[in-house]
């Protein structure tokens, strides 16, 4: 089935559909990972976005029931050069096209993904429209232009759990996870370190969280503009200084805002599994997995008792902060992912040791 992708600046790409039919809009970003497409598909942080994979062949090891990071796929469209219809891994259970169609996710292949990636790299991430029905270029470009921006958009309410639930009831210490779109491996690692893990919705108040008598708080990853998640920012602000708090990705940005800082949108964001990050405290470098379009402005945290702990070696943007006085720390990357493969897992141990 024919498919067409149009960017808001008028650039159009033609290809073939390998997922569900229909029409979708979203912000196009590129991901430089060579593997991990199942984790990318099921990462709630990609809500509202279309993901272009820079590696040429995707789907060759299939999908399985163990590697999901949430209950379903969240992205708007998956863009690849070539989609494999067969898989050869002993762990494979489903084909990528079959999984996409079953979950009603659009996919487009056969386009020049190098050209699309370079275009975004030069021009910046931008809105797009994809269709298997409308092949009028002007119409598709118009749909892209009329689609909502990510700036100022609260997407957490679309992916976060609406009810509290327990992930693990065994352990000496209780960690409450504020769910902004949490990935399952964050919960697995906390449980693996001997923690009881309870997940609460993003709109849960500080008072309700404190009634659970937690030993620590983790603010999870998630999609959209962190500045729009005012309810979680207010909750975190009320929790600071009362018990250890750790944030990941969107959670890091929310902590930065709760400390009185600002965030801004990056030109094309960081999406991939090969980002070098330097830990300024321990003088070590980790290869990290990243997925974010916004960043904390470290200058806005000056004179607030906040220490810069991690920096991205590609562009020198903020990758981690801490405030010893308030017993809070956070990182922009995903220490629960395994690109290094376990370069950054020490951060979970450091957090748990504070409880």
Phi, psi values for residue 126, rounded to 5°:
-145, 165
Location of structure tokens 């084909």: 95
CA-closest candidate to residue 250, choices 177, 309, 349: 177
Distance of CA 271 to the CA centre of its chain: 8
- Whole-angstrom Cα distance, residue 289 to residue 342? 11
**Residues 6 or more apart in contact with residue 342 via CB below 8 angstroms:** none
Read out DSSP for 184-207?
A: HHHHHHHHHTTEEEEEEETT--HH
DSSP bridge partners of 128? 7, 26
- Whole-angstrom Cα distance, residue 242 to residue 115? 50
Measuring CA to CA, how many Å separate 26 from each of 52, 106, 197, 246?
Answer: 12, 12, 33, 30
Phi, psi values for residue 3, rounded to 5°:
-140, 150
DSSP 334: B
**Cα Rg for the chain, rounded, in angstroms?**
20
Omega cis (within 30) before 79:
no
* 3-class DSSP string for 259-320: CCCEEEEEEEEEEEEEEEEEECCCCEEEEEEEEEEEEEEHHHHCCCCCEEEEEECCCCCEEE
- Whole-angstrom Cα distance, residue 213 to residue 176? 9
Q: Determine the number of helices (DSSP H) and then strands (DSSP E) in the chain.
A: 10, 19
- Whole-angstrom Cα distance, residue 192 to residue 10? 49
Positions marked catalytic: 249, 334, 336
């Amino acid at each position: 089935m024919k498919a067409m992708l149009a960017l808001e600046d008028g650039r159009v790409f033609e290809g073939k559909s390998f997922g569900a039919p229909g029409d979708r809009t979203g912000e196009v970003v590129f991901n430089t990972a060579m593997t991990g497409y199942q984790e990318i598909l099921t990462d709630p942080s990609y809500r509202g976005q279309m993901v272009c994979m820079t590696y040429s062949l995707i789907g060759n090891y299939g999908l399985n029931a163990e590697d999901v990071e949430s209950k379903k796929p969240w992205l708007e469209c998956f863009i690849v050069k070539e989609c494999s219809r067969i898989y050869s891994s002993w762990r494979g259970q489903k084909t990528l096209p079959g999984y996409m169609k079953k979950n009603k996710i659009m996919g487009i292949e056969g386009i020049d993904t190098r050209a699309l990636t370079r275009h975004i790299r030069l021009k910046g991430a931008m809105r797009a429209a994809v269709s298997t029905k409308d092949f009028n270029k002007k119409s598709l470009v118009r749909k892209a232009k009329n689609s909502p921006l990510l700036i100022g958009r609260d997407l957490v309410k679309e992916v976060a759990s609406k009810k509290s639930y327990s992930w693990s009831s065994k352990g000496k210490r209780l960690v409450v996870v504020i769910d902004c779109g949490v990935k399952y491996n964050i919960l697995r690692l906390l449980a693996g370190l001997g923690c009881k893990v309870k997940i609460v919705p993003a709109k849960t108040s500080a008072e309700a969280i404190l009634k659970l008598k937690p030993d620590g708080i983790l603010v999870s990853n998630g999609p959209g503009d962190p500045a729009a998640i005012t309810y979680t920012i207010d909750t975190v602000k009320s929790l600071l200084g009362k018990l250890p708090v750790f944030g990941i990705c969107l959670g890091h940005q929310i902590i930065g805002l709760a400390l009185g800082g600002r965030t801004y949108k990056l030109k094309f964001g960081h999406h991939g599994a090969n980002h070098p990050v330097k830990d300024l405290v321990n003088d070590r470098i980790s290869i990290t997995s990243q997925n974010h379009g916004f960043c904390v402005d470290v200058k806005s945290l000056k004179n607030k008792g906040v220490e810069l702990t991690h920096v991205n070696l590609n562009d020198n943007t903020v990758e981690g902060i801490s405030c010893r006085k308030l017993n809070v720390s956070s990182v922009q990357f995903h220490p629960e992912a395994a690109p290094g493969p376990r370069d950054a897992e020490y951060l979970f141990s450091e957090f748990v040791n504070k409880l």
